[in-house]
Chain A
Amino acid sequence: METKIILSKVPHDLPFLFIDRVMHLDEGKEGLGLKNVTVNEPFFRGHFPGNPVFPGVFIIEGLAQLAGIVAGSDGNGSSGMLASVSDMKFLKPVVPGDQLVLKVVLEARFGDAFRFEGEASVGRDTVARGSFSIVLIPREASAPGGK
């Protein structure tokens, strides 16, 4: 799934998309996504000066965006919104040039709330892992005016 299609499924827009490609999607179960980290990204100027580190919160955001697609965010009816994060660990810094592989697996669902296990890796190294929940909400409520 290419960037254009991803953008049509999530409520976000550039420059706040943290998945470049969805490599595997088993709707309602799991997904695998890719994020290429480039030094061009403007936040590296401040995070940190002279020492660019990809912010951990953006790893969570990427996992949540992917989870939204797995949960059924379709760009028309509903959008996935990050609702809770627990036991998230950042094990290694992610730096420009890294190719971040994001994996989410649905752990449980109750109504419109979905709990996922997420893991991010670069090469063979796991760089972050943890659990989080998203809630599917009607698109109108998440993006006034629509996209």
Chain B
Amino acid sequence: MSGAQPLQSRVKSFIVRQLRLKIKPEDIESDAMLFGGKLGLDSIDALELVVGIEKEFGVAITDQKIGEKVLKSVSSIAMYLEEKGIS
């Protein structure tokens, strides 16, 4: 899966910037749970990510069920973006 690594790094930087997290992008593990895990993100953060993903990557997430799957981890976000043609 070429291009996955740079995209994951981009997603990590985006998350830290969008949510103003006080950690470094590389501190987020690609497969770690974003919600309910040690990052402690909440439903407002989910909304912020949805808004940010549309602005940053031009990909809208309108369906909540899809959103819940996509926002699970950095890898799931990167995978979804890749499916939408982002590399």
Which of A's residues lie within 8 Å of B, judged by CB?
Answer: 83-84, 107-115, 133, 135
Residues on B with C-beta less than 8 A from A111 are 43, 46-47, 64, 67
State the CA gap A113–B67 with chains docked (Å): 13
State the CA gap A7–B47 with chains docked (Å): 28
What would 16 A/B residue contacts be, using CB atoms closer than 8 Å? Answer: A83-B44, A84-B44, A108-B50, A109-B47, A110-B43, A110-B47, A110-B61, A111-B67, A112-B43, A113-B44, A113-B47, A115-B47, A133-B47, A133-B48, A135-B43, A135-B44
Looking at chain B, what size class is its interface with the partner chain?
Answer: 10 to 19
For B51-82 the 0/1 string (1 means CB < 8 A from A) is: 10010000001001001000000000000000
Task: Say whether B44 contacts A133, CB under 8 Å.
Answer: yes
Enumerate B1-57 residues with CB–CB distance to A below 8 Å: 43-44, 46-48, 50-51, 54
User: What residue in chain A is nearest B67 (Cβ atoms)?
Assistant: A110
Task: Say whether A113 contacts B51, CB under 8 Å.
Answer: no
State the CA gap A114–B47 with chains docked (Å): 7
State the CA gap A69–B67 with chains docked (Å): 25
Interface residues of chain B: helix, strand, loop or mixed (majority): helix
Interface residues of chain A: helix, strand, loop or mixed (majority): strand
Task: Say whether A113 contacts B43, CB under 8 Å.
Answer: yes
Which of B's residues lie within 8 Å of A, judged by CB?
Answer: 43-44, 46-48, 50-51, 54, 61, 64, 67
Residues on A with C-beta less than 8 A from B50 are 108, 110
Residues on B with C-beta less than 8 A from A84 are 44, 48
Residues on B with C-beta less than 8 A from A113 are 43-44, 46-47
CB distance from A57 to the nearest CB of B (A): 19
Q: Give the 8 A-B CB pairs with smallest separation, nearest first.
A: A113-B47, A110-B47, A108-B51, A110-B50, A111-B64, A113-B43, A83-B44, A84-B44
**Besides A113-B43, A113-B46, 18 other CB < 8 A contacts?**
A83-B44, A84-B48, A107-B51, A108-B50, A108-B51, A109-B47, A110-B47, A110-B67, A111-B43, A111-B46, A111-B47, A111-B64, A113-B47, A114-B47, A115-B51, A133-B44, A133-B47, A135-B43
State the CA gap A83–B45 with chains docked (Å): 11
